[in-house]
Every structure is written in structure tokens, then in C-alpha cells.
Amino acid sequence: MLNIKDICTKIEKWIIDARRDIHKTPELGLEEFVTKEKIIKYLDEIGIDYEIYDDHTGVTAYIDSGKEKTVAIRADIDALPINENLNLSYSSTNSGKMHACGHDAHTAILLGTCKILHNLRDQLNVNVKFFFQPAEETVGGAQLMINNGCMDNPKVDCIFGLHVDPRLDTGLLELKYNTLNASTDTIDITVIGEKCHAAYPHLGTDAIVIAANVITSLQTISSRNVDPLDSVALSLV
């Protein structure tokens, strides 16, 4: 097989240009219509097969070699509701939206992987699927794609994901068994108080004090309910 590192070096500018192109037009979850069209444009340029969906903005490219095993590689494509104040030639052109979490890089890396493996498709011992997943930051677009059957026909045997990390030098990879990154969940807590005059607090029920104690108590999940050898992140925003 050809040296993958040498091939990456040859298409480095192509990947950088794709990343900057995507960075300029950030879109929020399930609104990635321009991003989707750009992904399709690059896939057409590569010449790889792909599938689009009617009910969301995800895209699946694939190399079906008729092999027994199938490997999938996944990237997320949505942006965050943040203003970009950097004065760069490829800064966001969509006010209030920015690729601040690296999904533009993830998408460009996956496009580069498509380009490389498509050129090496005759040397592959597996089928390969490439998932461009929408709405990672919001509703969880992975489930939408799974509902569409992206993991079937052929059945995916294993899947790889990647996330950029500013703590690591370029060219280094961090691997960890089991969970590496924290996830987000939504909880709703309603605290019901009873108003009273501030001079007579004993006649009411102070919801602010109760809420403060709830927040403080939740922090004991990390300090008292989790093995110190395990890692956990609990933040309320």
C-alpha cells in the first residue's frame, strides 16, 4: 500500500482550503444546508458514491468493495451560536454563528480521508462508510442517520470518530479506552417557593436558597459518588 503520510502531504492544501471554505459558512444543527451542498461538491470532485437524506442534512459517502467487514468514520458538521471576531480571510460570514468547536476541521479531515481511501479503494480489505453527521451540538443527528439505516447494508462492524484538541501538538493523537469526552444532558428542576417580605423571611419559602443548595448538592456527585480513579465532569449552565 502507498505511504498514507506522503499522500496526505500531497493533498494538504486541498484539505486546508476545504476547511476554510466550510469555516466561512457556519450553520446550526439541522440548518446545515449550505454545508451539505459544499460536502456534496467535494464528494462529486472526488468521484465517490454517497447518499443524502430527505429529512435532515446528513450525508453518507461509501466505498462498497463487496468485502465481509465494514468500517465507518464519522465527522460532525454543525456550528455554534457564537460571533466570530477574528479578522481572517475565511472568517464566518454568518452573523452570530461560528465553527468554534472544530467541526469544520472534522469535516475537512473526513473529506480528505474520502479522497485518500477512494484513490486506494482497490487495495482495501474492508468496505468504508463516511458519516457527515448534522446537529451534534443540539438534537443528536447521529440518531437521525441511524434511523435512516446508515449502519446497515452493509452492516457497520466498527466506527471511528475524531475530535481536535488544542492541548495536543499537531500530528499527535490521544487514545483512551472507554469514555474520553463528557456529554451533555438536559435536566429541568422546578423549585417552588412562597413569597414574603424580606424582613420576615420565616413567613415564606426562599426558592433562591433552595436552588443554591440543589446546585451545591449536585457537586457531591463528583466528590462523593464517583470512584476517585474515574473521571467525571458536572457543570450547570
Consecutive H or E run containing 217: helix 207-218
Among 216, 138, 226, 221, residue whose Cα is nearest residue 234:
221
* pLDDT tens digit sequence for 17-41: 999 999 999 999 999 999 999 999 9
Instruction: Please tell me the distance from the alpha carbon of residue 133 to that of residue 30, in angstroms, as a whole number.
Output: 10
* pLDDT tens digit sequence for 150-198: 999 999 999 999 899 999 998 899 888 877 778 777 788 999 999 999 9
In angstroms, the Cα distances linking 45 to 14, 218, 223 are 11, 51, 52
* pLDDT tens digit sequence for 34-69: 999 999 999 999 999 999 999 999 999 999 999 999
Q: Collapsing DSSP states into helix, strand and coil, what is residue 112?
A: helix
Using a CB cutoff of 8 Å and minimum separation of 24, what contacts does 90-93 make? Answer: 90/20, 90/21, 90/23, 90/24, 91/23, 91/24, 92/23, 92/24, 92/25, 92/26, 93/24, 93/25
* pLDDT tens digit sequence for 79-106: 999 999 999 999 999 999 999 999 999 9
Banded pLDDT at 2 (limits 50, 70, 90) = low
Among 91, 57, 52, residue whose Cα is nearest residue 76:
57
* pLDDT tens digit sequence for 95-141: 999 999 999 999 999 999 999 999 999 999 999 999 999 999 999 99
Within a 10 A sphere around the Cβ of 92, how many other Cβ atoms? 22
Q: What is the DSSP letter of 194?
A: B
Q: Which of the two residues, 187 and 142, has the higher pLDDT score?
A: 142
The pLDDT, as a whole number, for residue 101 is 94
Q: Is the pLDDT of residue 229 over 60?
A: yes
